[in-house]
Chain A
């Protein structure tokens, strides 16, 4: 089956309207006139970037931002999950269904975090498992209250976590559960979108196929469609926590 339909007539028409023959030779992109995008927080240390990120997440995004260490990561995640799994009125009603968390199987995450430690009768922890196939994983993700993912980069200026889709870390983990926890080493922090797009540009230049889904996620889902009033929590997650590992 043909994968590209009607291209030639379409593009011939464009060239015609532009008053010239088809442009088939590689086009040289003009260099961008300014460098202001590279200069944003260019002199900042990674600790300064971290402060910007944490502050922005808390004040502008309605998200939690927690600094922890490699050694304390498991405990930190346990605390965050517990908070999310506890009722509004702080009761933990044991007659209710257990709270569930789904964790990315990203080896970088599992190398520093043991999900088993969070697994209790009241709080069941699943790890994204490709061997089980699509259905079971999605069902778990939809039931789960919390999803934990590992971020490629974090962007200080906009309070953003950068996720690449991969077999071990399904898109659903940071999408279906009501709460998202993003784990990111401090060394992955960059100033802004410019540094994130640069990485993707390099991949594309080398002819690498990009991950099918690259997400730049800034806080939980939100809308202002009703009277321009900001409501947090629409179709995507309602809560977000950023966990920054200080000594990585």
Chain B
């Protein structure tokens, strides 16, 4: 799949999603658990604000000097015997990977979870060469088996599925005959794809953070699939969003510490794996060939824009876990592999306003996400910037622009405003009865779908104030 995951319009998608009671309960419970655990982990570490400040500074420094650090990274990868491909576009990246598939005559690829590879639609490109791709991260595996159902969360992609649904998917597609017990389901998958790891020609991963000073690619995981994918097959390809880099291991310490706590509420995930080049000559296991594919795919445009801060993102999904809008509509409503606040900012930037123009409005600007972002991205301010751009580019509905225009004219002229307030007060108190207006249309009918209108107090304040003396 690519970044876009649905053909339906936003309003249609949320209607469908909001009817899914299991998804809503599941997401609400997951959010509660994840944001509670995040807070506990942050409190236990202590001085969390200092950590966040350092995280923000590190990311900003890297972005300001991105060309330098990518150069240093590539030199070090080369010196360690690896290959580096700088991919400006998605197809540059997939063409390169395809060339390796062909060169190796690869028949099987094992993949560990990587958002950027989904963004560039890599799996489809691999499969068209008669090469099987197995998503080995359990959540991604479930979705792949389920005819490539789109992910609903950056870290826990199958969050919207319950154990019964997963049992049925496995029964249907991979010959499972056991119960819905999560441990049983998990162990079945362990056995079912074990041989795939052992037989695969190529292992493909993402990259949580590259370390420039040593040419290292770091993977932050729990399941062991990324270790298997990067230790058994003879070739390892790491695909990396170009901004996912730190200068040295000193900075890696800070960002990993922030990431693990913000994402899953623990100090370190089960496996933090720092891979440097193909294996050394005298080592027995590990890949003989290592390729690093560094992907731009629109990121450089973001770098040069007023949205640059979004590139600080470490993909922890803390914002997703805190967002009250996400809570009710779930990840698939966003129509993008990136959901929640990060998705609402990033998807229009990488995918354009045509497909993603509604996302920046699916936010009440509550700023809960600001408080939890480990690198202090001002997410709702960036959403506001999107709204501003869409207004300027006349993407917003004409009726809205006309109404706002009229409002702004009246608001800029004290006499007009004064009149409008007094008339408004009179009209409201005259017409609003039992929380409704006689004519329900437009914004009024949207409001009154679920709420009553306020009971007016009668006279406008300014009339009262003027007349009291």
User: Which residues from chain A sit less than 8 Å from chain B, CB to CB?
Assistant: 1, 3-7, 9-19, 22-24, 27, 29-30, 32-34, 36-37, 40, 60, 128, 130, 133-134, 137-138, 142, 155, 157-158, 160, 165-167, 170-172, 175, 192-194, 197-198, 200-201, 203-205, 209-229, 231, 233-237
- CB nearest to B194 among chain A residues: A235
A7, B69: Cα distance in complex, Å: 12
Contacts of A229 in B (CB 8 A): 182
Of the candidate stretches B4-12, B158-166, B406-414, the one touching chain A is: B158-166
| B182 & A29 in contact (Cβ 8 Å cutoff) | no
Confirm or deny: B222 has a beta carbon within 8 angstroms of a beta carbon on chain A.
Answer: yes
Contacts of B300 in A (CB 8 A): 13-14, 17
A204 and B138 contact, CB distance less than 8 A: no
Q: Is the CB of B278 within 8 A of A34?
A: no
* Segment at the A interface, from B80-88, B328-336, B440-448: B80-88
Give, as a whole number of angstroms, the nearest-CB distance from A154 to chain B. 12
Residue among A7, A209, A234 with most chain B CB within 10 A: A234
Can you name 26 A-B pairs with beta carbons within 8 Å? Answer: A5-B83, A5-B86, A10-B70, A14-B66, A18-B303, A24-B71, A32-B57, A32-B250, A34-B53, A37-B254, A37-B257, A165-B280, A170-B284, A171-B227, A175-B228, A193-B267, A201-B250, A209-B276, A210-B216, A212-B276, A214-B274, A221-B223, A223-B222, A224-B264, A225-B137, A225-B138
B150: Cβ under 8 A from any A Cβ: no
How many B residues touch the partner, as a band? Answer: 35 or more
Q: List A contacts of B247 (CB < 8 A).
A: 27, 29
Contacts of B33 in A (CB 8 A): 228
A68 to B158, CA, bound (A): 43
CA distance A229 to B186 in the complex (A): 11
| 8 shortest interchain CB distances as A-B pairs | A236-B224, A17-B304, A225-B139, A10-B86, A221-B224, A158-B267, A234-B223, A216-B272
Q: Is the CB of A30 within 8 A of B92?
A: no
**Residues in chain A near residue B249, CB distance under 8 A:** 197-198, 200-201, 204
With A29-B248, A137-B285, A200-B249 in contact, do A210 and B83 touch (Cβ < 8 Å)? no
Given known pairs A3-B82, A30-B61, A133-B284, the reply for A236 and B271 (CB within 8 Å) is yes
Q: Is the CB of A225 within 8 A of B277?
A: no
B365 within 8 A of A: no
Partner of A212, one of B264, B278, B304: B278
Q: Tell me if B269 is interfacial: C-beta within 8 Å of chain A.
A: yes
| Contact in complex: A171, B231 (CB < 8 Å) | yes
Closest beta carbon of chain A to B297's beta carbon, Å: 12
| Partner pick for A170 among B158, B166, B186, B285, CB 8 A cutoff | B285
Most buried by A among B30, B254, B267: B267
- Tell me the B131-176 residues at the A interface (CB within 8 Å): 136-139, 142, 156-159, 161-163, 166
Does any Cβ of A come within 8 Å of B381's Cβ?
A: no
Is B437 in the interface zone, CB < 8 Å from A? Answer: no
Q: How far is B293's CA from A5's CA once the two chains are assembled, in angstroms?
A: 10
Closest residue to A230 on the B side, CB-wise? B182
In the complex, chain B residues whose CB is within 8 Å of the CB of A210: 214, 216, 274, 276
- Knowing A216-B272, A218-B268, A228-B156 touch, does A6 contact B92 (C-beta < 8 A)? yes
Where the two chains meet, the residues of B that have a C-beta atom closer than 8 Å to any C-beta of A are 26, 29-30, 33-34, 45-47, 50-51, 53-54, 57-58, 61, 64-71, 74-75, 78-80, 82-88, 92, 96, 136-139, 142, 156-159, 161-163, 166, 182-183, 185-187, 189-190, 193-194, 197-198, 211, 213-214, 216, 222-225, 227-228, 230-232, 242, 247-254, 256-257, 264, 266-280, 282-286, 294, 296, 300-301, 303-304
B279 and A212 within 8 A (CB): yes
Complex contact B92–A201 (CB within 8 A): no
Please report the C-alpha to C-alpha distance between residue A160 and residue B270 in the assembled complex, in whole angstroms: 8
Q: Which residues of B have CB within 8 Å of A7?
A: 71, 74, 84, 86
In the complex formed, the residue of B with least CB distance to A9 is B88
Cα-based distance from A209 to B65 in the complex (angstroms): 24
> Cβ of B166: which chain A residues have Cβ within 8 Å of it?
226
Evaluate contact between A27 and B182: CB separation under 8 angstroms: no
A23 and B223 form a contact (CB under 8 A): no
Q: How far is the CB of B307 from chain A (nearest CB, A)?
A: 12
**Contact A236 B227, beta carbon cutoff 8 Å:** yes
| Residue pair A23, B57 in contact (C-beta under 8 Å) | no
Query: With contacts A11-B67, A29-B61, A37-B257 known, what are 12 further pairs, Cβ within 8 A?
Result: A5-B83, A6-B87, A7-B74, A10-B87, A10-B296, A171-B286, A193-B256, A200-B214, A209-B276, A226-B158, A226-B185, A228-B33
Which B residues are in CB contact (< 8 Å) with A9? Answer: 86, 88
User: Of A10, A157, A172, A218, which contacts B294 at CB under 8 A?
Assistant: A10
Q: In the complex the two chains form, what is the Cα distance from A5 to B230 in whole Å?
A: 22
CA distance A227 to B45 in the complex (A): 27
Question: B271 touches which one: A30, A32, A172, A217 (CB < 8 A)?
Answer: A217
- Set B74, B138, B232: member contacting A223, Cβ < 8 A: B138
Contact at A167–B282, with CB atoms within 8 Å?
Answer: yes
Residues of A contacting B50 in the complex (Cβ-Cβ under 8 angstroms): 33-34, 36
Q: Who on chain B is nearest to A174 by CB?
A: B227
Partner of A14, one of B70, B193, B248, B286: B70
Residues on B with beta carbons closer than 8 Å to the beta carbon of A34: 47, 50-51, 53-54
Q: What residues on B are CB-neighbors of A32 within 8 Å?
A: 54, 57-58, 250-251, 254
B250 pairs with A197, CB closer than 8 A: yes
Query: Would you give the shortest CB distance from B53 to chain A, in whole angstroms?
Result: 6
Q: Out of B45, B96, B156, which one reaches A224, CB within 8 Å? A: B156
> Which residues of A lie under 8 Å from residue B198 when comparing CB positions?
138, 142
Q: How far is the CA of A213 from the CA of B227 in the complex (A)?
A: 9
What A residues does B183 contact at CB under 8 A?
231, 233
The listed residue with most B CB atoms (<10 A of its CB), out of A1, A29, A170, is: A29
